[in-house]
Amino acid sequence: MSASTTSSPAVPAIEVSGATVRYGDVLALDDVSLEVAPGRVCGLLGTNGSGKSTLFKTVLGLVPADHGRVRVLGRTSADARRAGAVGYVPQSEQVDWAFPVRVRDVVMMGRYGHMGRRRRARAADREAVEHALERTHLSDLADRQIGALSGGQRKRAFVARAIAQGAAVLLLDEPFAGVDKRSEATIVELLRALRGEGHTLLVSTHDLAQVPVLCDEAVLLQRRVIAHGAPAEVLRPEVLMEAFGIHSDEEGPVWTR
Ligand SMILES: Nc1ncnc2c1ncn2[C@@H]1O[C@H](COP(=O)(O)OP(=O)(O)OP(=O)(O)O)[C@@H](O)[C@H]1O
């Protein structure tokens, strides 16, 4: 399935300009500006609490910015969500895994925007769900309760939901956290395929070794944007050391705080 909402290359897929977000006294984002062009994969890097999830929620319009402007494919966040143009894979901690729902039902949620008010699934919706389950290698687990899956399988179920939605812009909050190497490889392969189909991806990760493999560009966030550019530029040891106190060893970059 190719990206369902296309746009002129001149219109950024994601545009955040001067966004400041507070939770009470906590300043989570401070004057953040970021543009991601359509069809690009952008890695979002930062230590715990640096504002990555807040940035996703701001792009989705779930957390309001005190100042600044957010556009997704030239639309407001609310319009982009209504049009199904933006899909979200949340962090695992943000999901209630005890909620009694089957994997197939989770993936079907991605189709809600395509259904009428009564949310009656049509053949096209069922086909999209089966296709997404196949692409994420979850067809055999489709009738299981979501809470009865492994961490990696759960992640894949949410990626499947975003695929079924057909969103042009996908926001993935730590898709590799807590997944084994096999699920990680499946997810990387999928994300690359989605990129090849013209989707735009913003992917947060603590796995720095994954960034040059997957991403066209990377952003270092520490409440503010510290650096944004090609992975090789952003992952330079001196930039990481200055921003986060990260050093490299023979296995790649290592977070030290
Ligand atoms: N609902 C909330 N209420 C109050 N403070 C919050 C809330 N959500 C996040 N914060 C605070 O905002 C800051 C940014 O949090 P955020 O979750 O965006 O960071 P993150 O980079 O996604 O972190 P992690 O890597 O641990 O997921 C942190 O100081 C956090 O404690």
Judged against a pLDDT cut of 60, whether residue 147 lies above it is answered with: yes
Nearest alpha carbon, ligand 1 atom 17 = 53
The answer regarding whether domain 14-255 maps to CATH 3.30.70.3340 reads no
List the structure tokens of 176: 């590799």
Amino acid at 210: Q
> What's the confidence (pLDDT) of residue 250?
59
Judged against a pLDDT cut of 50, whether residue 257 lies above it is answered with: no
Average pLDDT of 182-196? 89
Q: What are the structural domain ranges in the chain? A: 14-255
Nearest alpha carbon, ligand 1 atom 3 = 23
User: What are the CA-CA distances from residue 210 to residues 17, 106, 240 (Å)?
Assistant: 27, 27, 15
> What's the confidence (pLDDT) of residue 185?
87
Distance CA 53, CA 223 (A): 11
pLDDT category at 115 given cuts 50, 70, 90 is: confident
Spell out the residues 6+ positions from residue 245 whose beta carbon is closer than 8 angstroms to its own: 256, 257
58 ligand 1 Cβ < 6 A: no
Q: Could you tell me the distance, in angstroms and rounded to a whole number, from the CA of residue 47 to the centre of ligand 1?
A: 11
Distance CA 47, CA 244 (A): 7
Spell out the residues 6+ positions from residue 135 whose beta carbon is closer than 8 angstroms to its own: 160, 163, 190, 193
Burial-class residue 83 by CB neighbours within 10 Å (0-12, 13-18, 19+).
middle
> Counting runs of H as helices and runs of E as strands, what totals does the chain give?
9, 11
46 ligand 1 Cβ < 6 A: yes
Judged against a pLDDT cut of 50, whether residue 240 lies above it is answered with: yes
> What's the confidence (pLDDT) of residue 36?
97
124 ligand 1 Cβ < 6 A: no
pLDDT category at 249 given cuts 50, 70, 90 is: low
Please report, in angstroms and rounded to a whole number, the separation of the first and last CA atoms in the chain.
Answer: 40
The pTM for the full model equals 0.88
23 ligand 1 Cβ < 6 A: yes
Q: Could you tell me the distance, in angstroms and rounded to a whole number, from the CA of residue 109 to the centre of ligand 1?
A: 26
Nearest alpha carbon, ligand 1 atom 5 = 23
- The secondary element (H helix, E strand) that includes residue 41 is strand 41-45
Nearest alpha carbon, ligand 1 atom 18 = 51
Residue (of 77, 51, 166) closest to 115 by Cα position: 166
pLDDT category at 245 given cuts 50, 70, 90 is: low
Average pLDDT, the chain: 88
Task: Among 16, 22, 23, say which to mutate for ligand 1: greatest number of ligand atoms within 8 Å of CB.
Answer: 23
